[in-house]
Amino acid sequence: MTTLRIVAKMTLAGQEVRNVFYVAGGDATHENAQDICDAIAGVYEDNWMPAATTNLGLYGFDVKELDDPENPTIEYLPTGGAVAGEVTGDLAPTQIAALVSFKSVTAPPNRKRTYLPGLAEGAFDGDALLNNTVRAAMVSWADAMLDLATTTSLAIAFVIARIEPTTQVLVGSNILTQYLLSIVPATQRRRRIGRGI
C-alpha cells in the first residue's frame, strides 16, 4: 500500500494558502495522481466554493509518494482548470476559517484538522457563528472527502499519516472515518495578510 501527500494550493486575496491531505491504498500512486487531484478539485468546486468568497482560488496540487523519502514532489494542475469561490461581497479577515476535524477511531495517528479558507463577511449569523449555508457546505465537503474512493473508483482511502520529521519516513497511517464541524469561526494567524504560508 502506498501513501500520497497531496497539497492543495490556493490563493486568498493574493496570499498563498495550503490544505494538506494524505491518501493511501493500492492506487495511491503518481500514475493515478491526476485523477485523485481532479477529484479533490471537484470536491472543492462542488461543495466548498459555492460558500467561499470570489477572492479564493484553487489552482494546483503538489503530490509526493511518501513510501520513499527520495521520491520527488510533482505538481499537478486540475484538468478542468482552476476553481474559484462564488460568493461576492467583502472578504472576512483572511485568518478566519471554517474548521473541520476528521477522526479515525483507532490509536494515533488518528486526528486531522482542515481549515477551509475564503469566508466572506456574510458567512456569519447574528451570534457571530458560521451560518447555515457555510455549515451545509462544510458537511458536503467533508462527506465528499471521506468518499474519494467512490468518486474516483480507485482503491484509495482518505487517511491521517505520521511522518518522522528528520528523515521524512512514513511511520504509519489510519483511515479517517468521521468528522466534526466547528460552527465557531477558527483562526490561523499565519493566514493574516502579509504572513505567508
Q: What is the full per-residue pLDDT of the chain (197 aa) written as tens digits?
A: 799 999 999 999 989 999 999 999 999 999 999 999 999 999 999 999 999 999 999 999 999 999 888 889 999 999 999 999 999 989 999 999 999 999 999 888 899 999 999 999 999 999 999 999 999 999 999 999 999 999 999 999 999 999 888 888 888 899 999 999 999 999 876 666 666 66
Q: Does residue 107 belong to any structural domain of this protein?
A: yes
> What total number of domains does the chain contain?
1
Q: Does residue 24 belong to any structural domain of this protein?
A: yes
In the chain, the DSSP E strands lie at 2-12, 15-25, 56-65, 73-76, 83-84, 96-103, 111-116, 157-163, 170-175, 178-187
pLDDT of amino acid 68: 84
Q: Does residue 196 belong to any structural domain of this protein?
A: no
Q: Does residue 108 belong to any structural domain of this protein?
A: yes
Residue 105: C-alpha distances to residues 45, 85, 109, 110, 174 (Å): 29, 33, 10, 7, 9
pLDDT of amino acid 172: 86
Range of the domain at 103: 2-191
Q: Does residue 197 belong to any structural domain of this protein?
A: no
pLDDT of amino acid 119: 97
Q: Does residue 169 belong to any structural domain of this protein?
A: yes
pLDDT of amino acid 186: 94
